């Protein structure tokens, strides 16, 4: 029988404190990047308050374990950024991180709780004077499903997450299999080091266009991606029901402001804010634009908040690309290179999922 959230009774609980469900504390391992020890093997997650990659900024040497947090299977909360992530392994923390632990925090229960923590953090705290300090976090409350004894139903939380996970895995297997069938088989290519490379001006391979802002009071809820100037989710900040002249598909967005220099390829239709510029490539390929976007991102260190990447600079920007004997971009190589990588990744994902299913059936 399918488990449903609407079939449960729910009750509010103190998340922390003397009568709270979990423990929260600031670790004594908060160290700056410049104090991290180097080593031959970089296997330890360095968790910061950033909003992507599970909060993992980089991997560091196991020599840093002396600063590490001993308990895996925990939740890290980023101050000011109001981020919350599951940490299944021992890790080293950056500054302004709090760690949530508890006897009931199994991996599946944590996955159930994370959206609840994030919604509360976003609703009650913000950047600046009202950040998620330890004292404020101790007053946090969570609305949770309860069992017959009117206590948090951790068994339901775990079973519900496992059910959702299996459904998503089944959908992804079907999706990945279709993608692999469409992509075909990988083709042998020269390695990147064997290629001829050359500088290419953006103005020679694309037309640069400006975006158009949709301010908060103008946004209408909808399904159309609205690309801003972020670093994650392909730069998509919102999904809207608006429409304007920036609407485009099969374009590369480049951040003019914000996370300056970040670039993403959008084969789907989207709207673009004025902190973005869009590149309409002269040569239309299905996969080569992903390669070009990656090479654009290589240039982002040359720009910053004080040196923005506007239209004029973007047009004359030079990026390194594989080139043919006449110096023109080798689009065919880039196209097949990306296809090969996609085939490799989808194949890896399927093997991982199949192994996970086999492993879970043995338990």
pLDDT tens digit sequence for 206-215: 999 999 999 9
**What is the per-residue pLDDT for 92?**
85
Both 214 and 150 in one domain: the answer is no
Both 36 and 136 in one domain: the answer is yes
Both 110 and 210 in one domain: the answer is no
Low-confidence residues of the chain: pLDDT under 50: 362-363
**What is the per-residue pLDDT for 81?**
75
Q: Is residue 265 part of a domain?
A: yes
288-297 vs 331-362: helix axis angle to the nearest 10? 90
**What is the per-residue pLDDT for 363?**
37
The residue range of the domain holding 50 is 5-158
Both 32 and 149 in one domain: the answer is yes
The answer to whether residues 227 and 258 touch, using CB atoms and an 8 Å cutoff, is: no
Longest Cα separation, the chain: 76
**What is the per-residue pLDDT for 325?**
94
Both 12 and 147 in one domain: the answer is yes
Name the token pair of 176. 């990945």
Name the token pair of 316. 């004359």
Q: Is residue 163 part of a domain?
A: no
Q: Is residue 285 part of a domain?
A: yes
Q: Is residue 314 part of a domain?
A: yes
Both 280 and 150 in one domain: the answer is no
Both 154 and 277 in one domain: the answer is no
Both 243 and 285 in one domain: the answer is yes
Domain final residue pick, 116, 136, 158: 158
Both 257 and 199 in one domain: the answer is yes
Both 18 and 152 in one domain: the answer is yes
Q: Is residue 146 part of a domain?
A: yes
Residue 44, strand partner residues: 60
Domain count for the chain, please give it: 2
Q: Is residue 329 part of a domain?
A: yes
Both 126 and 204 in one domain: the answer is no
Both 245 and 202 in one domain: the answer is yes
Domain at 199, CATH number: 3.90.220.20
Q: Is residue 358 part of a domain?
A: no
Distance CA 53, CA 47 (A): 9
Radius of gyration of the chain (CA): 24
Q: Is residue 177 part of a domain?
A: no
Single pTM value for the model? 0.78
């Amino acid at each position: 029988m399918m488990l449903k959230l609407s079939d449960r009774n729910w009750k509010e609980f103190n998340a922390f404190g003397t009568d709270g469900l979990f423990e929260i504390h600031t670790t004594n391992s908060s160290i700056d990047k410049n104090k991290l020890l180097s080593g031959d093997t970089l296997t330890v997650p360095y968790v910061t308050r950033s909003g992507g990659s599970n909060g993992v900024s980089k991997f560091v040497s196991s020599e840093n374990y002396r600063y590490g947090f001993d308990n895996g299977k925990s939740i890290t909360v980023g101050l000011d950024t109001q981020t919350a992530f599951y940490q299944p392994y021992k890790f080293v923390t950056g500054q302004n991180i709090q760690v949530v632990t508890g006897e009931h925090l199994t991996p599946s229960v944590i996955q159930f709780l994370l959206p609840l923590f994030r919604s509360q953090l976003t609703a009650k705290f913000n950047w600046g004077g009202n950040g998620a300090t330890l004292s404020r976090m101790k007053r946090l409350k969570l609305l949770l499903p309860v069992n017959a004894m009117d206590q948090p139903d951790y068994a339901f939380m775990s079973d519900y997450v496992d059910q959702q996970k299996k459904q998503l895995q089944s959908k992804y297997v079907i999706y990945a299999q279709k993608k692999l069938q469409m992509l075909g088989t990988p083709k042998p290519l020269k390695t990147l080091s064997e290629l001829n490379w050359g500088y290419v001006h953006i103005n020679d391979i694309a037309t640069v266009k400006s975006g158009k802002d949709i301010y908060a009071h103008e946004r209408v809820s909808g399904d159309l991606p609205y690309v801003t100037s972020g670093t994650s989710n392909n730069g998509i900040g919102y999904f809207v029901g608006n429409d304007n002249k920036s609407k485009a598909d099969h374009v590369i967005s480049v951040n003019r402001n914000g996370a300056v220099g970040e670039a993403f390829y959008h084969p789907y239709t989207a709207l673009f804010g004025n902190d973005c510029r869009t590149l309409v490539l002269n040569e239309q390929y299905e996969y080569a634009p992903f390669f070009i976007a990656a090479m654009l991102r290589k240039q982002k260190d040359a720009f910053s908040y004080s040196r923005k990447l506007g239209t004029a600079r973007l047009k004359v920007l030079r990026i390194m690309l594989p080139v043919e004997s006449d110096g023109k971009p080798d689009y065919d190589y880039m196209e097949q290179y990306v296809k090969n990588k996609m085939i490799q990744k989808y194949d890896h994902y399927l093997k991982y999922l199949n192994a996970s299913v086999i492993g879970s059936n043995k338990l």
